[in-house]
Chain A
């Protein structure tokens, strides 16, 4: 059975991936903005929100997802 905790962990991993990909964009040098552009801030926000949403699910434990 897939539990709320499992989904929470998956969301945290997804959020970390989004944040990492967002930061990697600057490392590769894609995009016209120096530093963080507005779209990157939006993506960072989405990534952090995903991490927070996932973290908040972990205390729900073994309840079925």
Chain B
């Protein structure tokens, strides 16, 4: 290329048109992501106002917190009344005990906590990227993309332990990244192990963060990794043994054995494809980051975190698992994407400051293109993740501008649009749902006797003890670990005055016994699901 041609090209790339186009696109991208964050806040607010189970299992998490607040173990013999046990580790319910003491047994406590946990995770993503790159757009775009994710949106503010596990795991990994810092490395190491311990005892799935952190430590300081890794394993083991001893083995049966569900490879593959399709931009950027750290720079804890959390997504093929298993991989992808953007921009800046005129020109051209391509990519990412209620005053105008169809036979609820397509999560529960829920609670309150409910919130709001944890019973039954005799005897004796079913996730003999001894008196639709009320046959 001649000097004159170079100068002409350089003038083109230095034109303010590029800069202003890039700024406009960046504003558009941030606006799109901010809109999705607003939708997330609306959803969290609607859930916090909704007193009943929204997702299966929320009420049981609340009951775990209630039992813990009473000083009772949550790992119990499911063969005897009330046939209830938790199938998750104890950190999450223990964290919510103060909330139960202060405000009583309400689902909003755990939902508010989970929402805050996602804010902390998003903030940590921003902080990690900005600390490494000093590039606020490289940090803000992926951190915003975390909240824009359909999966984070749907699962984030639920009374479930996923968000808490992701938060602790992420903080553990982030602390481990600083283990070589002079003077403070040891403190970061201890902080990392504490967060990782909390993550693991929030949900077993957190082993991806634990592995990422200790493999990183092994790569940088092998002897310290072996020493502290052994110590960590001993502490984990002692807690495990203590819980198991204190609960007569129910801890192991309910959290380990019962969770060993059948694996459906096709289900995992479907979720992987969905995860990739929804998060193409951040996944591809994170993938580039992994390649960069493998072949150009040193392997970072964040590239390990992304690879391992993606691999652990395979466990979404377990019966009862879902896309929420990819929440950690989404957080890790956001971090990897932001770090890669920072690396790219830094490299282009360095190129633009080279002695060679040609290299400086290509550096400036690259920066101009970067300023336009990156916002476009995140606009595309936001479009991939588009989800919004169609009838909320703040989102209805946007739905109209985007020409979203008001009706789609594949939707679970017609008042909610999600690029996922069919999803039972994400729509905003409304006043009709709340009224229907109180109608069901009235059935539970209508008797001084025992109530059997497939969702725990109805029993809790009616002041009753929670009876059964259905999917846990089903898991135990399928593994031959459940003795249904006492349960069926009570059903045959019509010991329960009111029975509330939804999906009927119970062992078949239990359902048969109900079929023989109970009759349907009402069906109530709440939140898109049909609840069946049964009373004893005369």
A residues in contact (CB < 8 Å) with B: 2, 7, 31, 37-40, 42, 53, 56-57, 60, 64-65
Contact = CB atoms under 8 A, between A and B. Distances in A.
Contact of B299 (A7, A37, A38, A56): A7
A42 B272 contact: yes
Contact of B265 (A2, A31, A56, A64): A31
A56 B294 CA distance: 9
Contacts of B222: 2
B295 A57 contact: yes
A61 to B, nearest CB: 12
Given A7-B219, A7-B299, 6 more contacts: A2-B220, A2-B222, A7-B294, A39-B266, A57-B295, A65-B298
Contacts of A65: 219, 298-299
Contacts of A7: 219, 294, 299
A60 B295 contact: yes
B156 to A, nearest CB: 28
Interface string B295-332: 10011000000000000000001000000000000000
A14 to B, nearest CB: 10
Contacts of B265: 31, 37-40
A39 B268 CA distance: 8
25 contacts: A2-B219, A2-B222, A7-B219, A7-B294, A7-B299, A31-B265, A37-B265, A37-B266, A38-B265, A38-B266, A38-B269, A39-B265, A39-B266, A39-B268, A39-B317, A40-B265, A42-B272, A53-B294, A56-B294, A56-B295, A57-B294, A57-B295, A64-B298, A65-B219, A65-B298
Interface of B: 218-220, 222, 265-266, 268-269, 272, 294-295, 298-299, 317
B493 to A, nearest CB: 42
A42 B269 contact: yes
A39 B298 contact: no
B213 to A, nearest CB: 15
A13 B218 CA distance: 18
B390 to A, nearest CB: 35
A28 B272 CA distance: 25
Contacts of B294: 7, 53, 56-57
